[in-house]
Amino acid sequence: MFRRLKLYHKTAYQTICLIISIAAALILWTAVSSIPNISTVFVSPDRVWRAFVKNVQNGTLIVHVRDSLIRVLGGFALGAVCSIPIAFLLGWYEGFRAIVEPWIQFLRTIPPIALIPIVIAACGIGTSAKILIIFFAVFLTMVVTIYQGVKNVDPTLIKAARVFDANDRQLFFHVVVPASVPYIFTAVRLGLATGLTTLVAAELTGAATGLGTMIQQAGMYFRMDVVLMGIVVIGIIGFILDKVALLVEKKMTAWQEGK
């Protein structure tokens, strides 16, 4: 009962802080947008809100959000599925690490936008091209994060398991994997953020719809209210996805907190 009450007060406190933070940001935004030399580029929240309402009512924004989410979540899912086994292999097998790790580090230095000509030539300008670019960025982010988790497992845990005659299979599944779970969820959160930040680059492959496309097209016609609206919408989607991942992480790692 006391724990639930404490959790309730903590949630209420965080909610109040979030509301205050949003209100302060809106006040600052309004103040900055009222400056004559800046107002033409950094438009007011009121104009952005009107653009939001207009695009929701005519259904345009819903289509853009839907198509962007399909690309981001598709690239993220593919990146997660591929990165987890590769990361564990990197951390567990020295020979595999010696061969693959240099290529992982090499590919990390290549910006996803540089792959656009190759991806278009190989996959065309369909959804698969956009998912592939997002996958590239997400995979590299997640594989490095999870690999560091596997590599940095507490040696004391491994030594303790060895004392009880645990074989390699038992050591891997009962010590290394559980100890790496927090790193996996950190990689998930970073992967989702990377997918969203790569979205605009992915939609340079000739997309007709999508938030990145909407921002690019609005920028060409200097419709800064739509540009800022798209940026804010991407930020809100990222915030929601991050909170969902954080909630799942808390549920699945509650045992580590003694709950």
Digit-coded pLDDT (tens) for 232-249 = 999 999 999 999 998 888
CATH of the domain at 225: 1.10.3720.10
CA gap 186, 92 in Å, rounded: 20
Q: Is 255 a residue whose pLDDT tops 60?
A: no
Tell me the DSSP string of 84-113: HHHHHHHHH-HHHHHHHHHHHHHHHTS-GG
Looking at the fold, whether 96 and 182 belong to one and the same domain comes out as: yes
Angle of CA points 241, 246, 252, to nearest 5°: 130
Same domain assignment for residues 66 and 170:
yes
* Same domain flag for 150 and 55: yes
Range in 175-179, 188-192, 244-248, 254-258 the model is least confident about: 254-258
Q: Are both 97 and 19 inside the same structural domain?
A: no
pLDDT in tens, 142-156: 999 999 888 887 777
- In whole angstroms, give the CA distance from residue 236 to residue 234: 5
Q: Is the pLDDT of residue 158 over 70?
A: yes
User: How far, CA to CA in Å, does 175 sit from each of 13, 85, 249, 252?
Assistant: 36, 16, 18, 16
Q: Which residues contact 107 (CB under 8 A, 6 or more apart)?
A: 136, 140
Same domain assignment for residues 136 and 210 = yes
* Banded model confidence at residue 3, pLDDT cuts 50, 70, 90: low
Q: What is the pLDDT of residues 91-136, one digit of tens each?
A: 888 889 999 999 999 998 888 888 888 888 888 878 888 999 999 9
Model confidence at 259, in pLDDT bands (50, 70, 90)? very low
> What's the mean per-residue pLDDT of the chain?
86
> Does 173 lie in the same domain as 144?
yes
> 150 with 80, same domain?
yes
**Residues 119, 115: Cα–Cα separation, whole Å:** 6
User: Are residues 16 and 139 located together in one domain of the fold?
Assistant: no
Q: Judge if 11 and 88 occupy the same domain.
A: no
User: What are the tokens at 33?
Assistant: 């947008």
d(CA 259, CA 256) in angstroms, rounded, equals 8
Instruction: Give the number of domains in the chain.
Output: 2
**Do 245 and 142 contact (CB within 8 A), yes or no?**
no
Output the six-digit token pair for 15.
């909610």
Instruction: Check whether residue 71 and residue 146 sit in a common domain.
Output: yes
- Of the listed ranges 36-40, 78-82, 143-147, 240-244, the least confidently predicted one is 36-40
Based on the number of CB atoms within 10 Å of its own CB, is 19 exposed (0-12), middle (13-18) or buried (19 or more)? exposed
Half-sphere exposure of 82 (CA within 13 A, CB side): 16
Is the pLDDT at 137 greater than 90, yes or no?
yes
Assess contact for 149 and 163: CB atoms under 8 A: no
CA-to-CA separations, 55 to 46, 61, 202, 209, 226, in angstroms, rounded:
14, 5, 22, 13, 9
Expressed as residue numbers, the domain containing 22 is 1-39
Q: Are residues 104 and 15 in the same domain?
A: no
* Amino acid in position 61: L
Q: Position of tokens 């790569």?
A: 198
Same domain membership, residue 245 and residue 145? yes
